[in-house]
Structure 1
Amino acid sequence: MKLRETLYFFLLAFFLQACNDTITDPNYHSGTSYYPIEEGWYIHYQVDNKDLTNEENSTTYQLREIIGKPYDDGFGGENYPLYRYKRDNEDVEWELDSVWSVVYRNNHLIRYENAIPLLKLTNPLIEGSRFNQNTYNGLDAITPSGQDLRYEVETVGRDFTFEDQVYMNTAVVLEVNNSSLITNSEETRRAVYQKDIGLILVDHNSISKVYYEFNTTQPSLAGNPYCGVNSNRQVIDLDNGDRVDNPFFELDNCETNPIFGVDDDSVNRWITKWESSANSPIVEARDGDNGTKILLLINPNEFNGYREQGSAMTQKIIGYGIDKTVD
């Protein structure tokens, strides 16, 4: 009995050890593993450029990036040319668009984009860390106004979901993250890398929100979105389910400007009243030139209360592999 138990525990221990031997450290924090450089390695992308202001200006095409034969980079290492081809769709031939290059140097992955060296990944990659993409081109990491241009490593070794598709073992780098209260605009750019594949996604959005705007110099407000079908509605339901109070509901003439031709105290009282209402219509009230006041209000005729303008670009992987026929 003891012999049988001893044999059982020996076999169990052997089995567990064998299982453990098949589990290897994926080394998720190695920056180089997220951008393999190999001659002939290619990735195909679908690129969609959406013009949110004028849809007719939107474009779509496919991009092919393929790594060529290495050459001496002049620093004791090897640069690899990165041939970039474009085509409208898969039914037409690729046409050479440009030649960039890529290199590992000092634990850095550097891409020369239109001859400008940009630091794209570091080794190791650490979540929450920042690095200066301009390390090799002489540009600053911080603008004179204090804007931080450094890239930020958002996640490493995690799954990333985009448009209902899950990408495993990714590194996500936030390359641009700017916002302005003055223009109600926001710009973000994320680069997503997948382990042992490379760059799989770029998501770049530059969007500003356009609200209903008027100021104290306008005697009348022709085209006021709170008028027309909304003029008899004290509270207006937006298409997205939100609600907004109508600050013109109590006026005899809906298109009359309630803050035109009155003193500053009256203007401020009107603003305060509607800023503190249950469903405030006021997004922002700011000072203009020569003592004027500029107001931005939710636009009840827009789905979300505002109209978006700007651009949205996605560059998403659609294929990858090895092609040794590249020059």
Structure 2
Amino acid sequence: MNKNYLRRNGLVGLLSLSAAALLLAGCGDNAEVQPQLLPDYYPLSVGSVRIYDVADTTWRDNVPTASRFQFREQVLAAPEPDAAGKLVYQVVRSRRATAAGAWQADSVLTVTVAPLNLTEQINNRRTVALVLPAVEGKSWNYNAFNSLDTVVAVTRFYQQVGQPFSVSRNGKTYEYTNTVTTVNDLVNSINAVESTIQRTTFALGVGPVNRVSRRYKNDCSGAQGCRFPFVRQLGQSRNEVLIESSN
């Protein structure tokens, strides 16, 4: 995507910051803004399509149940400005069981592009997917616009900014030369009782290319306590790999 995307759409300029936006901009170090702007890592335009192959596993009483399916994300209409003038995209999500199956309506993902952050909203929960500047180690509040965390929480971090990334699925390897990865606070999210891992990698000019989500609750109720290897009482693991896209 052209680096002047935000300027062409009138979104670069002074921003009247809310308390949440101030926190988002202030977390992390004071490194300079990278040349790439947020939409370069999450390009959206009318007619754009992304198809993800999804490997999903649920756990109950240490018994896994695996499934495979595909998600399609489409932008079918031009974005509309919200009350603050930020562009809001409606990303229509569909699902099918196999590559040969028919697409069925699933949900709508709302993506809002602002000068200092890019947010996603699904199931009435708005989260902060990306912030400026995109620099290694920068942190922010992923749940700044919902009630899951306190307003001062720091729950998301940049890793491997500007680095190459590759991922394999169904015998094919997908490679990208310039990516950024966001990850949750692993130090406070992983322990013997339960663990949560949320990681998304965005490729320059492509968008989200790999989404990983793992949530486990281990059975520590016996006399031995938490055993290793862990006995997963409940849990879910999902890995989405982008296999086809057009912007």
User: In the alignment, does 2:232 pair up with 1:320?
Assistant: no
1:200 to partner: Cα distance: 0.7
- Distance change (3 Å), C-alpha of 1:212 and 1:64: same
| Structure with the bigger percentage of strand | 2
Q: Match of 1:234?
A: none
Q: Distance in 1 between matches of 2:90 and 2:54?
A: 21
Unmatched 5+ stretches in structure 1: 1-26, 215-294, 299-304, 323-327
- Is the contact between residue 28 and residue 157 of structure 1 (CA under 8 Å) also seen in structure 2? no
Query: What's the RMSD between the two structures over aligned residues?
Result: 2.7
Q: Which residue of the other structure, out of 109, 128, 133, is the alignment partner of 2:142?
A: 133
- Is the contact between residue 29 and residue 157 of structure 1 (CA under 8 Å) also seen in structure 2? no
Q: Within 5 Å, which residues of 2 pair with 1:101-116?
A: 101-116=110-125
Q: State how many pairs are aligned.
A: 203
Q: Percent identity?
A: 20
1:201 to partner: Cα distance: 0.7
Q: Counterpart amino acid of 2:124?
A: A
- Is the contact between residue 210 and residue 308 of structure 1 (CA under 8 Å) also seen in structure 2? yes
Q: Within 5 Å, which residues of 2 pair with 1:142-153?
A: 150-153=155-158
SS of alignment partner, residue 58 of structure 1: strand
Q: Distance in 2 between matches of 1:116 and 1:91?
A: 32
- Is the contact between residue 186 and residue 208 of structure 1 (CA under 8 Å) also seen in structure 2? yes
> Which 10-residue stretch deviates more, 95-104 or 69-78?
69-78
Q: Match of 1:11?
A: none
- Is the contact between residue 53 and residue 70 of structure 2 (CA under 8 Å) also seen in structure 1? yes
SS of alignment partner, residue 190 of structure 2: strand
1:202 to partner: Cα distance: 0.8
Q: Match of 2:23?
A: none
Q: Distance in 2 between matches of 1:155 and 1:28?
A: 16
- Is the contact between residue 142 and residue 150 of structure 1 (CA under 8 Å) also seen in structure 2? no
- Is the contact between residue 172 and residue 191 of structure 1 (CA under 8 Å) also seen in structure 2? yes
User: In the alignment, does 2:150 pair up with 1:175?
Assistant: no
Q: Match of 2:229?
A: 306
- Is the contact between residue 45 and residue 64 of structure 1 (CA under 8 Å) also seen in structure 2? yes
Q: Match of 2:165?
A: 160
User: In the alignment, does 2:75 pair up with 1:67?
Assistant: yes
Q: Which residue of the other structure, out of 44, 50, 53, is the alignment partner of 1:43?
A: 50
1:33 to partner: Cα distance: 1.3
- Is the contact between residue 167 and residue 241 of structure 2 (CA under 8 Å) also seen in structure 1? no
Q: Distance in 2 between matches of 1:150 and 1:142?
A: 11
SS of alignment partner, residue 159 of structure 1: strand
TM superposition score normalised by structure 1: 0.55
| Structure with the bigger percentage of helix | 1
Rg comparison, structure with higher value: 1
Q: Distance in 2 between matches of 1:141 and 1:153?
A: 20
SS of alignment partner, residue 32 of structure 1: helix
1:64 to partner: Cα distance: 0.4
- Encode CA deviations 1:255-299: one digit per residue, 9 max, x unaligned: xxxxxxxxxxxxxxxxxxxxxxxxxxxxxxxxxxxxxxxx4587x
- Is the contact between residue 219 and residue 226 of structure 2 (CA under 8 Å) also seen in structure 1? no
Q: Match of 2:85?
A: 76
- Distance change (3 Å), C-alpha of 1:96 and 1:296: closer
Q: Counterpart amino acid of 2:160?
A: T
1:141 to partner: Cα distance: 4.2
Greater relative contact order, per chain length (Cα 8 Å cut-off, separation 6+): 2
Q: Distance in 2 between matches of 1:28 and 1:203?
A: 27
TM superposition score normalised by structure 2: 0.71
1:199 to partner: Cα distance: 0.5
1:114 to partner: Cα distance: 1.9
